[in-house]
Amino acid sequence: MDIGVFLNVVIFVSAILLILLILLQQRGASLGAGFGGSGELNTERRGLEKSLFNATIVIVVVFVLSILAILIV
C-alpha cells in the first residue's frame, strides 16, 4: 500500500473517531445555566470522562500529524 493512501485512511479514521469522541463528551454546565439559571460546574474530570478527554487529545495529535505528513509527502 502506498504511503499516501495509508495517510488518507489514517486521516479519515481519525476524523470519524474525533467526531464521535467530541460528541460523547459532556458539557460542564446544564442547559439552564446557558440561559441565566444557576448550574453546577465540574472542573475536574474523573473516570470515563477523563479517559474520553485523553483519548480525544491523542486522536487530535494523530489527526494533525497525519495531515502534516501528507502535506510533506
Sorted by sequence, the CB contacts under 8 Å of residue 34 that are 6+ apart come out as none
CA-CA distance, 68 to 59, in Å (whole number)? Answer: 14
Quote the pLDDT of residue 45: 80
Quote the pLDDT of residue 38: 56
pTM of the predicted protein model: 0.76
Query: Each residue of 11-61: pLDDT tens digit?
Result: 999 999 999 999 998 775 555 555 655 556 667 888 888 999 999 999 999
Quote the pLDDT of residue 37: 57
CA-CA distance, 19 to 11, in Å (whole number)? Answer: 12
